[in-house]
Amino acid sequence: GRLEAVTQQMGYHPQYLDSFLKTQHYLMHMDGPLPFDCRHYIAIMAAARHQCRYLVNLHVLQFLRAGGDPQWLRGLEFIPPKLRNLNEINKILAHRPWLITKEHIEKLLKISEWSWSLAELVHAVVLLAHCHALASFVFGCGCEQDEGLGGRGSLSLGNQCFCEATAGNSCSQELLRINRKRSLDSCMELDSLRERMQRIHVETEGREEMRLLQQDREEGKGQGARGGCHHSDLSAGLSPLADPDGEVTGATNLACYMQDPDFGYQDFARRDEDQTQVFRVQDYSWEDHGFSLVNRLYSDIGHLLDEKFRMVDGLQSSAMAKRQGCEPSVFKRGIWNYIHCMFGIRYDDYDYAEVNQLLERMLKVYIKTVTCYPEKTNSEMFDRFWKQFKHSEKVHVNLLILEARMQAELLYALQAITQYMI
């Protein structure tokens, strides 16, 4: 009955968790252009770009449960060329989405034995952006570092499917068959979900106090005690997916799932470079352009994504904003626009001088690290930085990072698809 770690963290904001789980479930288990095993393999490819073993292991298990070929788990050389061709757009979206052009789209859609359809490509793009952004959340909230080491992740089932937190059972073949039914109403058992949301909320109310008490006890033991962490010693020689008997069930080498591992984020705004490539939301926005395109090519996903974007924007953060001396909406917009700015997306009606006034330096460092290179997030960042924030407020910031980053990737990819279609 324990909760999976990502669900556990998002549980501090039950309404958002409801929206996230519906979207996650629809992407992975409902009718759509892509086969079920391919969806999970694309998720593996996306998570591997950020070395997110947590998500890779999760989707390796789901890939196998969906009937995927175990040989594919040996690496990109063992998958169909059609899937392997997605590697380039995966790499660019994950690290420098502003480099995506209609030529990248055309290359995938050109008529050949391994060509993609527009609907398939939109599904794949949404999956890639979803998993890249979720990797940021995993690292930002410490789920990756703490998994299996007695930390926040110790209350989780690291190999549990997200849908198990809502459906209440394992992803059996029977459940996968049921999940294929084309109905938004049936994609989540809403009554059961709301009941679970209430339970999650009750469970999370007292968790922060327990965590702080445990943290104080650990700090009191001093550095010497840390050297004898039996959890770390025992797990050091095992795969993160090793069962109690030591049988390895997941891949340990993430490098096999990606090419050009040295390709990473570079600052978009360089003072010595021409800024003509700045993405202006006034010219192409999610509300006016992206939503209609994605919803036309992959039915209903646009509504789910839009609900999720609106849900995170509506989360209450009055205490968090009050500490910064501003209105909640101003504070959240500052974080959102700062994240988009790092990806070259600008709003003509926003004064970017506000960012420096609203966000203290350490908070900006944290946001940039989690957004642009989450794999470099220090395991102590979540607990040690900006201590004046409550645990739920830190999770809130990470949800803003997740959604702002996902929307940024989608805007670039969908704009390139639109340009190809013109």
The amino acid present at 325, given as its one-letter code, is: G
Q: How many CA atoms lie within 13 A of 386 on its CB side?
A: 21
* d(C-alpha 237, C-alpha 234), whole Å: 7
| CB atoms closer than 10 angstroms to residue 225 | 12
Q: How many CB atoms lie within 10 A of CB 202?
A: 10
Strand partners, 346: 280
Quote the CA–CA distance of 371 and 96 in Å, as a whole number. 12
Active site residue 143: no
Residue 76 · residue 87 · CB < 8 Å: yes
Long-range contacts of range 302-307, CB-CB < 8 Å, 24 or more positions apart?
Answer: 304/19, 304/22, 304/23, 304/26, 305/23, 305/126, 305/410, 307/19, 307/22, 307/23
Question: How many Å apart are CA 124 and CA 235, to the nearest integer?
Answer: 34
Active site residues: 52
